[in-house]
Structure 1
Amino acid sequence: MNLQPLLDAPLAVQIHVAAVLPASVLGAYILLNRKGTPIHRLLGKIWMALMVITSLSSFFIHEINLFHGFSPIHLLSISVLVGAWQAISSARAHNIRAHKAAVIGMYFGGIVIAGLFTLIPGRIMNAVVFSGGPSWILILTLLGIAAMLFLQQRLVTRRF
């Protein structure tokens, strides 16, 4: 692992990564634990704020310039912002099914899928994770992907 590419990256990228890394761990924790408790609500608010920061910061990242500085991955950022609105409004309306769908969509679309795109060769996070360091980072990445797939399967088969 080599943090230098991230340290050399633009400020928007650094803010983006600083928000998304804790959001990925916190989101997995929230999805795996008991719902509706005061701690769930508190951690959910923190997670939602991290996701909004992650999404908004992405609009200042223009490394893949396909259309006026933007790329298809920015569509995920828009969907995260829409999902945040849906998750909050459905939770306030006590529509748990819609809240759950919005949050799961935000997590898997905004973190898992977008995160996999960051590992494409030539991207900053690919250089961070796969260069200049021990191979255990690759093993941890693969274990993380396996854990996310397990989590997704558990959420699909689990009834709330």
Structure 2
Amino acid sequence: MRLEAFISAGPVIQAHLIAALTALAIGLTLYLLPKGRLPHRTLGIACATCLTVAAGTAMFITRANPGWWSVIHVFVPLTFAGLFGIVMAIRHRRWAYHRHAARGLIFGALLIPGLFALLPGRLLNV
């Protein structure tokens, strides 16, 4: 993406992109760090917050299909459902499910939609 396109994209798209890229960076860091300690918990909360912002702002981005959501918006409820599942797994101490759901969320909420965003005609396509 060109810097001019990012600057002229508007605050919702800017917030969405910053939140998504931050969540991706934190998510990949979480994958590499030791699990269960304070840094993991703190970064997990930060990642969940960024994912919430990214999914929330995505609902207001209708650039590809003015006035309506597009196919990529199917990832919004999936992201919220995944975040809910991860939190419930933590509360019920189901660590294996938490690990599996967190990996799936990073893949399904960030990597797949990110690849869709790189398609021709999209803002991120260079």
Q: Report the TM-score range of the alignment, normalised by the length of the smaller protein.
A: over 0.9
- The amino acid that maps onto 2:3 is L
- The amino acid that maps onto 2:93 is H
Structure 1 stretches lacking a partner, 5+ long: 131-160
Structure 2 stretches lacking a partner, 5+ long: none
**Aligned partners of 2:58, 2:68: CA distance in 1, in Å?**
11
Runs of 4+ in 1 over 4 A off after TM superposition: none
Aligned length: 126
The residue that corresponds to 1:49 in the other structure is 49
- The amino acid that maps onto 1:104 is R
Where in structure 2 are the equivalents of 1:102-141 lying within 5 Å?
Answer: 102-126=101-125, 130=126
CA offsets 1:37-81 (integer angstroms, 9 cap, x no match): 111001000000000100010000002228x61112111111010
- The amino acid that maps onto 1:57 is T
TM-score, L = length of structure 2: 0.93
The residue that corresponds to 1:60 in the other structure is 60
The residue that corresponds to 1:81 in the other structure is 80
What percent of counterpart residues are identical?
Answer: 30
The residue that corresponds to 1:149 in the other structure is none
- Select between 117-126 and 38-47 the one with higher mean Cα deviation: 117-126
The residue that corresponds to 2:24 in the other structure is 24
The secondary structure found in structure 2 opposite 1:120 is: coil
CA root-mean-square deviation? 1.4
**1:38 aligns to 2:49 (yes or no):** no
**Aligned partners of 1:84, 1:119: CA distance in 2, in Å?**
24
TM-score, L = length of structure 1: 0.74
How much does 1:10 deviate? Answer: 2.5
